[in-house]
Chains A and B, each alone.
Chain A
Amino acid sequence: MGQLAAFIALSIITLAAAIVVVTSGNIVRSALSLIPTFLGVTGLYILLQAEFVAGIQVLIYAGAITVLILFVIMLTEGGTGLRVRQTTGQFPLGMLAAAVLAVALIAVFVGTPWPKTSGELPQYTAAPIGNLFLTSMVLIFEATSLVLLVSLIGAIIIARRER
């Protein structure tokens, strides 16, 4: 009961903010509306008892990525960011694409036989995540850090060239 109520409330917050993100004519408002969206998703993670992922979601998405987006908007558009055109006028086509995607996703969700194992949830998720990263998932972990390193070096090179 409580979980359902929380899920509905969080979904409404997430979706309402997401609608503002795509419809608002003001790009800064769109960027700021991303924050309630991310926080709503964080709440869903907490409902799924994935606190570590929830914490990272707030830190990285709501805290860092949104600030980065705002920063880019404010630095490029002379501090206002109001003159950016946000819609392309291809409203029907966009609706069609969204509808097709929604149908496909719902079909997949309904058609997938979700495994319902009766396992025990770990009491403390951070340590198992760390262990997995350094044992069976080590390739993915290392590949991700390599990608991040490459993008870091790329950013430095681009920044230096401008001088």
Chain B
Amino acid sequence: MNWFVEILKAIGLAALLFTFLAVVAAMFGVLLERKIGGWIQSRLGPKHVGPQGLFQTLADTVKLLQKEHITPYAADPAIFNTAPLIVATAGLMDWVVIPFGTIGTLVLVVRDLNIGVLFFSAMASMTVVGILAGGWASNNKYSMLGALRSASQMISYELPLATALIAVAMEAGTLSTVGIVRAQAGWLGSFVVRQFPAFVIFMIAATAEVNRVPFDLPEAESELVAGYFSEYTGMRFALFQLGEYAEMFAMAAMATTLFLGGWKGPVLPPLIWFLIKMYLVVFFLMWMRWTYPRFRLDQLLNLSWKLLLPAGLLWILITGYRLTN
């Protein structure tokens, strides 16, 4: 009956983690995004619901829950209704391998897979399926264009992302996320110092993977009316948003784990250190969003194929040379 307990444990952890993420990543993330956006653009941001606009996202969520589900007449209903689930699930699945911290000797991670980094990149690549399916099933040319842009962008940036992950895994000598955190010691021993080019490549590719400015062509409001999810209403739209924010937070958490030494740090408890570092990366991503204009599609693809990918391969070569000599 051991497997039965395992399944119950998995369901319990999934519910706990996903609820936490739905609340923290999506709701708090949206509020943070709007507040930081307001601060950078010298305006106030949400202000009226609750103290300092703190409950704005809660109100928005209630509003979204009440809205009608509209399936367009010409849409493919089965695929149309499944697509948001794929995006949300893929975004949340990333979190399985993220180590949040330690309590005593116990590492707070859902499952320390020995293929952790590979699992992360596999789950990140599943998002594009949901986006493509949603864009196609909407039967709308703007959604379709957004989905195709997203697919070409994600395929292009998966490769530089993978080269950065490979370089880190080579240096750490393991694919396990917990092992990678353990391989980093002290400020100078963290991979942001030892693997700085990989860190830069990872951050650029991660921003592109989660479709954020300056790489948000798939959902460019001004030309594609929000791209692949323009036909979605109510909670299905919210699921796309949830998936996107979960994925963005997961990328930030992964950057923390791979490069910033994960939960390690002096004085404060490990979990707090992890959250501080993760929110610093999240803040960095938001700062970029409100600062830079959007790329053109050809610039975007050129950056990936002609600059990031050769740089990543070269860095793998250098890392390999450094490790074997």
Q: Which residues of A contact B (CB under 8 A)?
A: 1-3, 5-6, 26, 28-29, 32, 35, 51-52, 54-56, 58-59, 62-64, 66-68, 70-71, 74-75, 79-81, 123-126
Once the chains bind, are B76 and A55 in contact (CB under 8 Å)?
no
Once the chains bind, are A59 and B129 in contact (CB under 8 Å)?
no
List of B residues within 8 angstroms of A125 by Cβ: 114
List of B residues within 8 angstroms of A35 by Cβ: 129
Once the chains bind, are A62 and B129 in contact (CB under 8 Å)?
yes
List of B residues within 8 angstroms of A124 by Cβ: 114, 174
CA distance A6 to B114 in the complex (A): 21
List of B residues within 8 angstroms of A75 by Cβ: 148
Once the chains bind, are B129 and A67 in contact (CB under 8 Å)?
yes
Once the chains bind, are A59 and B121 in contact (CB under 8 Å)?
yes
Within 8 Å of chain A (Cβ to Cβ): is B136?
Answer: yes
CB of A41 to closest CB in B, whole Å? 14
Question: Known contacts being A2-B4, A32-B129, A32-B133, is A63 close to B79, with CB within 8 Å?
Answer: no
Once the chains bind, are B2 and A2 in contact (CB under 8 Å)?
yes
Return the contact of B118 from the options A52, A64, A67 (Cβ within 8 A): A52
Residue of A nearest to B120 (CB): A55
Once the chains bind, are B175 and A126 in contact (CB under 8 Å)?
yes
Closest A-B pairs by Cβ, 7 of them: A2-B3, A63-B125, A55-B118, A58-B122, A59-B122, A55-B115, A51-B115
A–B Cβ pairs within 8 angstroms, 21 of them: A2-B6, A28-B76, A28-B79, A29-B79, A35-B129, A51-B114, A52-B115, A52-B118, A55-B119, A58-B119, A59-B122, A63-B126, A63-B129, A67-B154, A70-B132, A71-B132, A71-B151, A71-B152, A124-B114, A126-B114, A126-B175
Once the chains bind, are B122 and A126 in contact (CB under 8 Å)?
no
List of B residues within 8 angstroms of A79 by Cβ: 136, 141, 144
Return the contact of A64 from the options B78, B115, B141, B155 (Cβ within 8 A): B155
Per DSSP, chain B at the interface is: helix
Once the chains bind, are A56 and B3 in contact (CB under 8 Å)?
no
> B120-152: contact bitstring with A at CB < 8 Å (1 yes, 0 no)?
011101101100110010010100100110011
Return the contact of B128 from the options A2, A28, A56, A63 (Cβ within 8 A): A63
A59-B118, A67-B151 given. 10 additional CB < 8 A pairs?
A32-B129, A51-B113, A55-B122, A58-B125, A68-B155, A70-B133, A124-B114, A124-B174, A126-B115, A126-B118
Interface residues on B, range: 20 to 34
CB of A14 to closest CB in B, whole Å? 17
Residue of A nearest to B173 (CB): A127
Once the chains bind, are B122 and A70 in contact (CB under 8 Å)?
no
Residue of A nearest to B176 (CB): A124
CA distance A63 to B124 in the complex (A): 9
CB of B323 to closest CB in A, whole Å? 13
CB of A52 to closest CB in B, whole Å? 6
CA distance A80 to B128 in the complex (A): 18
Residues facing A in B9-68 (CB within 8 A) are none
CB of A160 to closest CB in B, whole Å? 14
List of A residues within 8 angstroms of B122 by Cβ: 55, 58-59, 62-63
Once the chains bind, are B113 and A67 in contact (CB under 8 Å)?
no
List of A residues within 8 angstroms of B136 by Cβ: 28, 70, 74, 79, 81
Residue of A nearest to B159 (CB): A64
CB of B211 to closest CB in A, whole Å? 15
Most chain-B Cβ atoms within 10 A of its Cβ — which of A5, A74, A123?
A74
CA distance A94 to B79 in the complex (A): 29
Return the contact of B155 from the options A2, A29, A32, A67 (Cβ within 8 A): A67
CB of B159 to closest CB in A, whole Å? 10
Most chain-A Cβ atoms within 10 A of its Cβ — which of B4, B133, B152?
B133
Residue of B nearest to A57 (CB): B122
Once the chains bind, are B132 and A67 in contact (CB under 8 Å)?
yes
CB of A51 to closest CB in B, whole Å? 5
CA distance A7 to B84 in the complex (A): 28
List of B residues within 8 angstroms of A58 by Cβ: 119, 122-123, 125-126
CB of A131 to closest CB in B, whole Å? 13
Once the chains bind, are A56 and B155 in contact (CB under 8 Å)?
no
CB of A71 to closest CB in B, whole Å? 5
